[in-house]
Amino acid sequence: QYTVFTLGDALITFNPSETGPLRYVPSFTRKVGGAELNFAIGCARLGLTIKWASRLGGDEFGRVIYNFARGEGVDLSHVEFVENYPTSLNFKEIREDGSGKTFYYRYQSPILTMEPDDIKEEMFEGVDLIHLTGVFLAIDPKNLEIVKRVLNIAAQKNIRISFDPNIRLKLWTLEQAKAAYMEILPAVDILLTGLDEIEMIVGDSADSALEKCAEDFHIEQMVIKDGGNGARVYQNGTWHKKEAFPVTPIDTVGAGDGFDAGYVYAALHGYSPEDALEFANGVGALVTTVSGDNEGLPYLEEVTALIRKEKVVER
């Protein structure tokens, strides 16, 4: 049984009851979201022990998130409620053509109360891998110091690091994001990035440029997610690629977070590069078949069933 640690904010997401400009939408369905929490739920469903460090509002919505995460089996020992910091919210708008927008209400996120000193060595007892994302970094400049403290402890304890840049240009500029990533990347073992993101970070999409980035930062596995085209990884000087599973996507939000959970599961269990990509593609594909950011995250049996069926069809 492997143990994974992640760190980040969570939000209440309001999904519109109907399509069209938000100003005309009278009712919403309340859901729970946030990249790191989605990742954590993905890990829990696959059977990993997952510890999530966060701060939640000391309000009704904070309780909703806490109870939801607890129900999914996420270890909440490092989650605290903060009074007078309302839980962050976002409202989704879905246009008739299926395109969407998200409106964030995240001015005084409870996670802003987390300080580097709150990160204690004993939090990482028994942890095999730490997963970090750029969303946490983007929320507040101070979070880079928190992440650096996590990375220091990880280096002392020899804990592997996975990182998803998850660029959110609504929260900071590309220049700010890149400056922070440059400080993180030397410590990253597994980089999990979207194709568009790595192009923005490296400033070039040619394989040679990506390989140089992996080599310059000593990134052991550079994984590039490419939606319906599947994913590839640059590892030990070679590219490995796997096609996506042929599914009919209903809602692709959260596919990347699910993919990350799947890839981390596979990496911890020592899968070959191709098998790890296939497993993670399976998780990502299943996420897209269900509406919601984390509702579609599969249990281990569901991923293995998808993979087995695929293999039978191939023969």
Q: Which residues bind ligand ATP (CB under 6 A)?
A: 194, 225-228, 230-231, 244-245, 247, 249, 252-257, 259, 281, 284-285, 288
CB 10, min distance to ligand ATP, A: 15
- Whichever of 93 and 257 has its CB closer to ligand ATP, that residue is 257
Q: Which residues contact 212 (CB under 8 A, 6 or more apart)?
A: none
Pick 185 or 198: Cβ nearer ligand ATP: 198
Q: Minimum Å distance from CB 120 to ligand ATP? A: 30
50/303 with CB nearer ligand ATP? 303
Q: Specify the residue, 127 or 180, whose C-beta has the smaller distance to ligand ATP.
A: 180
CB of 259 to ligand ATP, least distance (A): 4
**What dihedral angle (degrees, nearest 10) is formed by the CA atoms of 201, 205, 209, 213?**
30
**Nearer to ligand ATP among residue 24 and residue 299 (C-beta):** 299
Residue 132 or 231: which CB sits closer to ligand ATP? 231
Name which of 244 and 303 has its Cβ closer to ligand ATP: 244
Residue 25 CB, shortest distance to ligand ATP, in Å, is 22
Min separation Cβ 125 and ligand ATP, Å? 30
* Distance in Å, CB of 197 to ligand ATP, minimum: 7
Question: Are 280 and 263 contacting, i.e. CB atoms less than 8 angstroms apart?
Answer: yes
Q: How far is the CB of 313 from ligand ATP (least distance, A)?
A: 15
